């Protein structure tokens, strides 16, 4: 999926922890307001990695906003298909939500045939490289989210960390 420079300037990626320590409703409200402001500034593409937790919340928020702003699109960049077969502790509800997101997204890219070491970092770099803004939910410095946010900052993306309030 080749992204032109113009598309990159109108693209936002999401990165956050799988476990969120606050009410999903409160976080969804902040997330929705942040995304609305970016849409009003001309951002039209929203990219997420399809993981549980913040990625799922972000994707579902974008899909809700698409009802009001039909011009926007959600693109999923998946490390590999059926991550719930590799990762532990997926609930039936999370698996159902995952498949609904794939079905409702404007598009998706699957990076590998199956799990490979480093595939999550590759996915995270891929979504950052497509974007000019990163909306994050970063609470822990020793995490994949911290790696992604640092990578985004190093590559000049505007960072908006919703974990800061």
What one-character-per-residue DSSP string does 82-147 give? -GGGTSS---HHHHHHHHHHHHHSSEEEEEESS--TTHHHHHHHHHHHT-SEEEEE---SSSHHHH
Average pLDDT over residues 6-35: 87
Average pLDDT over residues 15-19: 84
pLDDT at 142: 83
Give CA–CA dist 58/112, Å, rounded.
Answer: 23
CB atoms within 10 A of CB 95: 15
Give CA–CA dist 37/1, Å, rounded.
Answer: 26
pTM: 0.92
CATH number, domain 5-164, options 3.40.50.450, 1.20.1290.10, 3.40.50.2300, 2.30.22.10: 3.40.50.450
pLDDT at 25: 78
Q: What is the pLDDT of the chain when averaged over all its residues? A: 91
pLDDT at 27: 86
pLDDT digits (tens, 9 = 90+) for 100-124: 999 999 999 999 999 999 999 999 9
- pLDDT tops 60 at residue 2: no
pLDDT at 22: 73
Model confidence band, residue 140 (pLDDT cutoffs 50, 70, 90)? confident
Model confidence band, residue 61 (pLDDT cutoffs 50, 70, 90)? very high
Domain ranges of the chain: 5-164
Percent of the chain with pLDDT over 90: 74
CB atoms within 10 A of CB 165: 5
Percent of the chain with pLDDT over 70: 96
């Amino acid at each position: 999926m080749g992204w032109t420079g113009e598309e990159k300037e109108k693209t936002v990626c999401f990165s956050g922890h799988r476990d969120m320590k606050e009410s999903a409703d409160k976080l969804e409200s902040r997330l929705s307001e942040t995304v609305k402001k970016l849409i009003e500034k001309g951002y039209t593409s929203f990219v997420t990695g399809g993981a549980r937790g913040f990625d799922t919340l972000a994707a579902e928020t974008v899909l809700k906003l698409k009802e009001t702003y039909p011009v926007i699109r959600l693109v999923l960049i998946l490390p590999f298909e059926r991550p719930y077969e590799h990762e532990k502790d997926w609930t039936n509800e999370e698996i159902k939500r995952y498949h609904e997101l794939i079905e409702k997204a404007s598009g998706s890219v699957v990076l590998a045939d199956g799990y490979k070491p480093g595939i999550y970092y590759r996915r995270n770099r891929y979504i950052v490289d497509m974007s000019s803004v990163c909306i994050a939910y970063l609470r822990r410095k020793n995490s994949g989210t911290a790696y992604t946010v640092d990578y985004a900052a190093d590559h000049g993306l505007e960072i908006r960390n919703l974990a800061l309030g």
